Structures are given as structure tokens and as C-alpha cells.
Amino acid sequence: MGGIVKRNFPVLKLYSAGCAANVEKMIRRMTGVVDASVNLTTNILSVTYDAHKVTPNSMREVLMASGFGMIIDEDRDSEEELKRFSNMQYRSMRFRVIGASLLSVPVIILSMFFVYLPFSKELQMLLSFPVLFYFGFSIFTDTWKQLGHIRCNLNTLVMLCSLIAYLFSVFNTFFPSIWTQHGIIPHVYYEVSVVSVLFLLTGHMLEARVKLGNSKAIRKLLSLLPITVRVKRNGKEEIIPIKNLLAGDHVIIMQGERIPADGMIVEGFSYINESLINGDKTPQLKETGDFVTAGTFCVEGRISFVAHQVGVDTMLFHIIQTMNESQSTKKPIQRLVDKYAGYYVPGVLIASVVTFLLWLIIGGVTVLPYAVMSAISLIVISCPCALGLAIPTAVMIGIDEAAARRIIVKDAVILEKLNKVSAVAFDKTGILTEGKPEVCGWKWAKQEYKQYKMILLAAEKKSNHPLASAIVKSIESEGSIIPAPIDGFETIDNKGVNILAMGKEFWVGSHKLLKDREVQLTKGVIEQLLEYELAGWSIVYFGMDNTLLAIIAVNDRVKLNSLKTITKLNHEGIETYMLTGDGERTAQSLAGKVGIDVYVADATPNDKELFIREYQLQGKRIAMVGSGIGDAQALALADVSIAIGHGEDIAMDVAMVTIHANDLSLLARTFQIARRTAKLINRNLFWASIYNLVGIPIAAGVLFPFTGMLLTPVITGGAIALSTFSLVLSSIVIFRNDD
């Protein structure tokens, strides 16, 4: 199993569900491939394969032999290629929709108001031909590909009905006497064929627009990587393309340059902007022995580091993979429509045959023309023209409604996931609190010395913990204290830091570090500590060897709307949890202030991930709300990841949902929009089909014995108009009230 890996690859020249099915089939047939799936929304091929038996290059060769393309290297050039293709695909769909619209409108007008105009039918036939067989050609090709796999989808349904409507109308245009001699009016249904194709093309165009937007965040992340890299090989500096960078290379970074790989500094120092990783825009000092991450930015200084992870092994690439993974499954609602079409198409054909046979059984051979007319008319009226618009329209309205409130939803599937979320886990800092910690209390266990604060200042300047900046600001505000020279610095994961200075070992961190040192607290310190924790303040401990020097209380004020938002979510049946690295009493106090009953204190990143995983193992859906995703395993694992902030950090582009405002109340609005969108999709599917389903009995001839009426263009036109009008009206009404 050591050779089994899972990778995502962008695929080019995917135009339809049939193309996606062909790609899946070809890749799955390859020796060593365990599974393969294609998401047509993102053009992503997700493959699980044995790296000892098959390679990405061999997969690309197989696809290229069939006219497809596949991008292997996640570099700038390949991403630009995908970007160009996505733009081209969207422009192509837009051209088809505009062209089909220009020809369809005259057809509709002629069918409604100029039925008896000389050569009206012939003109409708000529105008309809390019709509079906040029602008709508992709629908027909996809249908043949689907039939090759014995599948039916919405394209199959539209092609079947529109083609039969067109051919039936052509027959009636040139051979009307066959019907008139039996007293049957030879109606034509060109408008049904063109409107069906036009609406489906419009839906595809809206989906292409969403697909084009999906790659924006990935492009922005990839833009963080430089095109070329300065390395030192064989004692000489040279500049090479980033794709030629190897693990073990000595990379040289100058001021103003991006870090191209993950690695450890071996020479020099620099201030690095690591907002991608921790959301903190304050540059952090990095020196010999410190690690740097691909995509971060050298604000000042010069360093040389050894590349440990390059290319697909970097943290930046894993972030991109996480984004692709979150979008690599087909929309459940789209699967519902395809399943609907899979039953609907055979059902319509069976109903048509049954109608034909019933006419002959009841009326005999003499009603053969009526039997043929009714059987074909049933197929014509069965085409739900507006069905192609039902889902894309609802999705675009939902996404645009969210965007108007500065809520960016990456994809329709995320709206569906949000609607199924039953719990929300909150990070504390910057989410439930303002994210602007301030020192609000000092308690010295020993006599306060200026040199202690100098050492503390030096330690916190090197730390990237959110509370460190508050302590630095507090000490520097005194004006006379400068960082002390230190001889050594070590970060202790999730606990704090150790510093060597003045020949002694100092430490700064959480109570976990205090426990490791087996420090005994005095009664005065314990009393003050209890007071700080009950106030909900975070505590930082500062000590030397096994002696506590001071405790520092840092307050990050609770957001004014936190309680209101939590209460609203709970009222709507969504459970809420808080995951924080603070101690038990501090966490309990803050949870009480915001109305959260269940919380996890002393939570490390692994603890948060474990919490999310355990909840999911119960079969439930959970969302994680944070301010970044770089090293936040919980965000990557959650069913929906939500970032809240001012939208200035690249981390905001990684989350599935980004709220570009530091307003927690918009979180409740996000869930509300998701629910409304889900409701709108179901309602649109109903209105897109109901009028056609009602028309089927009329087409079958149910009213003929009583009224002598068969299907007419008025009925089909009315069904199209009413279903479309109802769909649009439904979309307007459901989002009209802004509550």
C-alpha cells in the first residue's frame, strides 16, 4: 500500500458530461489505477493509483491520444494554460447562447403571432436548424457519448425531445396533407426545439462562469511562487526555473522575494511575512535553524536555506490540493437531476409507445394517424425546457446574493453542504473575539527587573503566537526597553518557547509549559491567576529554569454580536462548539459569555482535528470557522471551512466560504442563504417540470373523446412560458425578503 497515492490533475478539453465519462473510463482501465473520478465543474481529475505501476505522464499520454489534455506540473505556465482554456470555454458558451438567442427569438415570434404568414413554417425551420445543429451541437455529441456508456442525463433528455420536435415539424412542413386528409391540423413545434436548446446552453454558460471563478483562488496561491529561483550549486550561484528546483538545493532569498519551497535556514536572517500560514501580517524574524514555507514573503534581509520539500510536497501545494479536494465531487443536486433524467427519458419513451398502442387498441387501424400524432406529441410536450435553467439559476442567485453581503462562496456544492451542516466549531481568536489582544495585567512572582523584560521582549519578538505581539506592544510602550541579546531560541510545539540568555534558560508560554517545568505557584500568584481566568483573559507564563517570574494577562475582547449569532444558530437547530488553546477556566468564562455550552480547552491543532473527525464519525456534518487554513487541520477536515476577516490575507482565498468583513452576524446570514438556495433549487425543479407533466395526458389524447382536442402549439408554448415564468418568479420571491 506504500505505493498508493491520490492526486488531482486539471484536464483540458472537457466540454460535457460525456467527455468526463470517457476520461474516467480510460483512466480506470489503466493498470495500477484504483479509482478515478472527474468533476466537470472544476475540470479536475481525481485519481487514486499505484505509483509503482502507473505514472501521471502515462495517464496524460492516454488522454492526449483521445484528444484531451492533462496538466501535471502545478507551475505558473500550466496554470496559465488552464486559465486560458477556462476563459475560452466560457467565451465559447457565451457566443453559443448569444447566437442561439438571436435566432430563437424570431422563431418564437413567428410561432406565436405569425402562424399563417406565407412561408412562416419554412422560415422557422431554417432559423431553427443552426440553433440545434451548430450552437447546440455539443449537446448532441454529449448525448451520443452518454449513450455509448448506456447513460442518460439532462442533455439526453433535451436532445431527444428537441430533435423529435424539429424532425416532426419538418415532416409537417413538407407533408401536411398526410394529416389534413384525416382532419388533423399539422402543427409545427420549432419553438420547442430551439427554446429547449437555448435554455440548456444558458445553464451551461452559467456553470462555465462559476467554473471560471473557481480557479481564481488557486491562481492567486500559485502566483505566490516565483518563476525562477536563485540557488547555489557546486559553489556557484545560478538562476534556474522553479520546476527544476530539487530537495537539498541551497536556495538564496533576497529582500522582496518569495520563498519557493519549504526548508530550514542555514545562513543569514530575515523578516518573513507568513500571513499565508498563520494569518498574521506582522513580519516574523527568521534566523539560522528556523523553518520557512513556500509562498511566504521576505520583507527584509537575506537568507540561505536548504530546500526540504519542493513542488507537490510543499505546504502551499497541500493547501491547493485541499481546495481541489473540497470541489472534487459532483454536486448532489446535479446527480439528482441526472438520475431524474435517467428515469424520465425511458419513461417518456414507454409512455409514448403505450399511447400509440392504446389508440390502436381502442380505435383500430382507422385511428393510426391519431396514434402517431399523439405518440410524437407526447414526446414533444415532455421536454421540460426550463429544467436546464433550474439549478444554474438558483445557484447564481444564491452566490450573487451572498456576494452582495461580502460573503464569497466558492462553488454550488458548498451551498448544498452548508444546508446540511448540523454543527459549527469556532476558533476563538479573531472569530468570537476581536482578534486584537491587549495586555491588561502583570503579576510578578519575583521582583521585577528591567533585564527580565528585555529578555521577554526578545523572546516574544521571535515568536509568531498571536499573544506575543500584544506583549511586545505592551513592553515597547514603556519606551526604555530594548530586546536583550540571546544565545539560543527554541520553539516548543503548542506550548511556548525556550531562550538562552545571560547563561540561563528562560521560557515563555502556556500553562502546559509551566506544568512541564513543575513550577510551584505562590498563594498570591494563584489568587491573581484565578481572577484573570474568571475574567476570561488568556494567561502567558514567563519563567527562568524552574522558577516562575511573572504571569501576563492578555485580553481579546469578545465581539459584540457573538452572543447574538450563537443564539440564532442554536435556535435554528445548529449546535455550536468552541475550540481554544486557552486553559479550562479561561475557556469556560469566554464560552459562557458567548452562549456556547460545549468547548474544548487546551486544544492543540491535533486536538481540533480529532474533534472534527469524531463528530463526522457519528455521520454528522460540521463546519469549522477560523481565520486561516495554512496549518489548521480542522479547517481542512471539516465538511465546510469558513474564514472570517477583512479579506486581505491569501488565507481567505483558501476557505470554501469567505466572509470579507469582521462581522460574525454574517455567518448566520450565510446559512440562511444556503437554505434559501436549496429551497429555490427544489422549487425550480418543480416548476420546470410540472406544466409539461400536466400536458402529457393532453398530448396522449385524453381530451380527444370529449373535445376533439389534441396537442397544439398554444399548449406547448403555454407550458414553456408558464414554467419559465414560474421559475423566475420563484427565484425573485424566495430572496425578496431581507430578514
pLDDT of residue 576: 92
Q: What confidence category does residue 327 fall into, taking pLDDT thresholds of 50, 70 and 90?
A: very low
Q: How many CA atoms within 13 Å lie on the side-chain side of 159?
A: 20
Amino acid at 147: L
Please give the class, per CATH, of domain 438-555. alpha beta
Q: What confidence category does residue 326 fall into, taking pLDDT thresholds of 50, 70 and 90?
A: very low
Most confident by average pLDDT, 149-153, 477-481, 691-695: 477-481
pLDDT of residue 725: 61
What's phi and psi for 501, nearest 5 deg?
-155, 145
How far apart CA 345 and CA 40 sit, in angstroms, is 22
- Residue 629: pLDDT over 70: no
Q: Are 426 and 579 in contact (CB under 8 A)?
A: yes
| Residue whose C-alpha is closest to residue 593's, from 419, 712, 465, 432 | 432
Query: What's CA 430's distance to the chain center, in Å?
Result: 23
pLDDT higher for 39 or 527?
A: 527
- SS3 of 60, please? helix
- Residue 301: pLDDT over 70: yes
**What confidence tens digit (pLDDT) does each residue in 630-647 have?**
335 677 788 888 887 643
Please name the residue ranges forming H helices in 114-245.
120-130, 137-148, 154-174, 177-180, 190-222
Note the pTM of the prediction, 2 decimals: 0.58
- Residue 197: pLDDT over 70: yes
How far apart CA 514 and CA 521 sit, in angstroms, is 10
Beta-carbon contacts of 635 under 8 Å, excluding residues fewer than 6 positions away, are 624, 626, 628, 629, 641, 655
How far apart CA 266 and CA 252 sit, in angstroms, is 10
Q: Is 427 a catalytic residue?
A: yes
Question: Which H, E and C letters describe 252-299, residue by residue?
Answer: EECCCCECCCEEEEEEEEEEEECHHHHCCCCCEEECCCCEECCCCEEE
Q: Are 409 and 402 in contact (CB under 8 A)?
A: yes
Q: Chain-wide mean pLDDT for the chain?
A: 76
From the candidates 262, 427, 556, 649, give the one annotated as an active-site residue: 427
What's phi and psi for 263, nearest 5 deg?
-175, -175
Q: Are 380 and 349 in contact (CB under 8 A)?
A: no
| Residue whose C-alpha is closest to residue 18's, from 189, 100, 139, 165 | 139
**What confidence tens digit (pLDDT) does each residue in 46-76 have?**
888 888 888 888 888 888 776 677 777 544 4
How is domain 228-316 classified at the architecture level of CATH? Distorted Sandwich (2.70)
pLDDT higher for 440 or 606?
A: 440
Amino acid at 653: D
pLDDT of residue 541: 92
pLDDT of residue 163: 81
What residue spans define the domains of the chain?
Answer: 4-72, 86-216+329-394+679-734, 228-316, 407-433+559-660, 438-555
| Residue whose C-alpha is closest to residue 158's, from 203, 197, 105 | 197
How far apart CA 465 and CA 635 sit, in angstroms, is 19
pLDDT of residue 577: 92
Hey, which CATH number is domain 407-433+559-660, 3.40.50.1000, 3.30.470.20, 3.40.190.170, 3.30.420.40? 3.40.50.1000
Beta-carbon contacts of 17 under 8 Å, excluding residues fewer than 6 positions away, are 40, 142, 146, 153, 155, 338
Q: Which three cell numbers stand for residue 500?
A: 538562552
How far apart CA 327 and CA 42 sit, in angstroms, is 7
Which range is least confidently modeled, 71-75, 104-108, 342-346? 71-75
- Residue 208: pLDDT over 70: no
Residues in the chain: 739
Q: What residue ranges in 601-698 does DSSP mark as E strands?
A: 622-626, 640-644, 657-659
Segment holding 103, helix H or strand E: helix 76-113
- Which CATH number applies to 4-72? 3.30.70.100
- Residue 259: pLDDT over 80: yes
